[in-house]
A and B are shown apart, each in its own frame.
Chain A
Amino acid sequence: MLSRTAANLFWMGRHLERAETAARLLDVGQRITLLPNTEEGYQNEWNSLLQASGTSELFTGKYGEISQENIEEFIFFDRENPSSVVNCIEKAREAGRIVRTALTSQVWDALNVTYQDLRKIENTPRSRLDTASLTDFTTSHTSTVRGAINATQLRNDGWHFMNLGYGLERADATARLLDVKYFVLLPRIEFVGSGLDTYQWQVILRSLSAHRSYHWAYGGDITAGQVADFLILNGESPRSLITSLYEVVWHLEGLARRYGDAVSAEARDKGRDVMEQLQARDIDMIFDEGLHEFLSWFIQELGTISTLVHQDYLLGGA
């Protein structure tokens, strides 16, 4: 497979996942605006979520105030926001168009229909759109693409590259959301254990579409330890760090097996290594070590794996 093809498949996966992340953010952002804005904390909460995607300054600079219209505009439509749904879907579709020969017609079809429908939405007067329909639009279309990939793509190297993109992006998004939570909010120690704190954890869970599954897994109250455990170490949680990393390693193993010893597999080795280190921890150890320190380490390791994928496969050995 051409290195450029692999790179495009990889980024197609990443952008589709990122679009989904943005849609979830939209949902959460909208929920925040529905709360009485008496506490400065809610404003903070919103900023912290934006910080997770590295777009906080952009939003403040351009819109200032949090309102439903602004959030919708910024997260869904704004082309200046690199992580907006419109941007991510366009980039994913562009990547898909470049490598059409590596996609089944069903996958291309799903991707292209997503793009065509997106343009229709862009041309619809904003007053006739509501946030829920935008979120639904995004998740249902990205799920269709995802489903088409699972149902029709050959289980070949291209499939591995797409899923590597999905997996790395998801691990990264979860880690960043968690990190923001503690990095930004923990200094305000008076909130810990308060109703507000609980609410903020709920927001995190919602932003990962994990609100209900958390209750299935743990029942009872939302506590910091359990939420962190759920999002970091629980192998049943679909967006937890360990699940996402497990998938990344699985696909790297697949590539290494397929390509044999002639092709270097440093990304796979690194993935295995990080996985082992993750498995060696429990949630208390992570809190002792400091959640922020742990997450910084993890995000950095993800970056290294990504760089090694690039080195191993995407340069073409020239």
Chain B
Amino acid sequence: MSYYNEMFEGDQVRDPYARLREWVDTMPDDFRQMKQAEAEALFRRIGITFAVYGEGGDPDRLIPFDMMPRVFEQAEWRKLERGIKQRARALNAFLRDVYGRGEIVRAGRIPARLVYQNEAYEKSVVGFVPPRGIYSHIIGIDLVRTAKDEFYVLEDNCRTPSGVSYMLENREIMMRMFPQLFRKNRIEPVDQYPDLLRRTLESVAPAKCEGRPTCVILTPGHYNSAYYEHSFLANLMGVELVEGQDLFVDGDFCYMRTTTGPRKVDVIYRRIDDPYLDPLCFRPDSMLGIPGLMNVYRSGGVSICSAPGAGVADDKAIYTFVPEMIRFYLGEQPILNNVQTWTLWKDDDYRYVMENLGDLVVKEVHGSGGYGMLVGPKSTKEEIEMFRHKIKANPSNYIAQPTLALSTCPTFVEEGIAPRHVDLRPYCLCGDRIELVPGGLTRVALRDGSLVVNSSQGGGVKDTWVLSE
């Protein structure tokens, strides 16, 4: 398989990387090692660490940071931006629809079963329309590139996509370590993200809110692997970072416990999952949630971002219908491609997948983080056969996709610089406006030949540049 190299075309350096070439070529080895150590010390010092679920070892593990930036030209980015915003609009239209009349199901474009029997479909909010009809306020769209103008969406994250703190910190650290690079290249800034996020949240304040809305970030607590990100965002946005125990419901509103007594909360950017939000409505054993919150939400006393139930738009079975949503709700042609997907509960698809398991990527419908997936071409015969048994046991739990020829970016490795596979997650904000900062999180598979970029599977991160005109 041949891969699109984002920096080189044969021996030729592509335009966006022209200036970086010189930087790399003239960098002495010892300088690079010194800077790499400096970067690591900075990350550790700031406390940006990542705990991996279910793994022992260092609880303060760092996600490896690669100093070689990934670069997009303005024109490339503009196309991506249009495609991402289009997708975000369609996903929110879909959510508004399926919690309302369900036109897309009535029209026969999406099977009712996939929507209404979906685990993430939240019956308790049927008929309630959140402010501005927005359900998913922060959408992380995972993209891969296979050619100059070919981008594929791998998945949409409509609930609580994480990683944006890396986008911001990677940039901070690059600017601190290599200011001259930023003087030579004209790079679009990303540091407005926290302000845009706060404005987005304020724009979806509930009807009953008077005056400037009070926003908070709701975290499961400091044991969560993304806690750093929660506190980082709260800090930059100038809002309180609360836990469930800090909030309580009294009458029609939700309050936080402060040193000066109760204070009303208008918008909750929650980083906990639906089942834990309210023990009266969902899991009664949840210690993280706020009893009575859903009643306040449904009566317009507080906004919850993303809205409970938003997850129905981003599971891997619904994913295959996103292009259909774009045509159905927006009357437009999709700008970004979906990856061809075989759904194993269909007989034809099942047969095809079982015959071609060695060439495909198979994922669990509800899985995430790179766990429980099979990358056919990178697996041994035994691994493939083991996975075949798992699929047979429960076909509807899986989807399959062709193995994409993920583009590569030059990456600093032991021996110098070498191509490694990358993906991209930009963060789209939906409120009174739809906003996208020019950049995102580039994840890189640091192992030679690996196609799995997840940080839980040994992936690293890069700063992502969009050049201005």
Residues of A within 8 A of B (CB): 1-6, 94, 97-98, 100-101, 105, 108-109, 112-113, 116, 157, 161, 255, 259, 262-263, 313-318
Q: A1-B259, A112-B47, A259-B260 are in contact. Are A318 and B248 (CB under 8 A)?
A: yes
B258 neighbours in A (Cβ, 8 Å): 1-3, 316-317
Cβ-neighbour of A101 out of B47, B235, B257 (below 8 A): B235
Residue in chain A with minimal CB distance to B248: A318
Residue in chain B with minimal CB distance to A317: B261
Give the top 5 A-B pairs by smallest Cβ distance, nearest first: A316-B257, A317-B261, A313-B259, A101-B235, A3-B257
Residue in chain A with minimal CB distance to B41: A116
A98 neighbours in B (Cβ, 8 Å): 221-222
A2 neighbours in B (Cβ, 8 Å): 240, 242, 246, 256-259
A230–chain B nearest beta-carbon distance, Å = 35
Check B262 for interface membership: any CB of A closer than 8 A: yes
Residues of B within 8 A of A (CB): 44-47, 221-222, 227, 231-232, 234-235, 240-243, 245-246, 248, 250, 255-262
B248 neighbours in A (Cβ, 8 Å): 318
CB pair A263–B246 under 8 Å, yes or no, is no
Residue in chain B with minimal CB distance to A1: B259
Apart from A101-B241, A317-B257, A317-B260: 9 A-B pairs, beta carbons within 8 A: A2-B257, A3-B246, A3-B258, A4-B242, A6-B259, A101-B231, A101-B240, A263-B259, A317-B261
B232–chain A nearest beta-carbon distance, Å = 8
Report Cα–Cα, A183/B245, bound state, in Å. Answer: 42
CB pair B261–A262 under 8 Å, yes or no, is yes
A6 neighbours in B (Cβ, 8 Å): 259
Report Cα–Cα, A316/B45, bound state, in Å. Answer: 33
B234 neighbours in A (Cβ, 8 Å): 101
B319–chain A nearest beta-carbon distance, Å = 35
Cβ-neighbour of B45 out of A97, A100, A101, A109 (below 8 A): A109
B250 neighbours in A (Cβ, 8 Å): 318
B241 neighbours in A (Cβ, 8 Å): 101
CB pair B245–A112 under 8 Å, yes or no, is no
B246 neighbours in A (Cβ, 8 Å): 2-4, 316
A86–chain B nearest beta-carbon distance, Å = 15
CB pair A116–B261 under 8 Å, yes or no, is no
CB pair A4–B245 under 8 Å, yes or no, is yes
A-B contact pairs, 5 of them (CB 8 A): A4-B245, A4-B257, A112-B45, A259-B259, A316-B257
Report Cα–Cα, A2/B262, bound state, in Å. Answer: 9
A317 neighbours in B (Cβ, 8 Å): 257-258, 260-262
Cβ-neighbour of B260 out of A94, A105, A263 (below 8 A): A263
B47 neighbours in A (Cβ, 8 Å): 97, 100, 108, 112
B262 neighbours in A (Cβ, 8 Å): 316-318
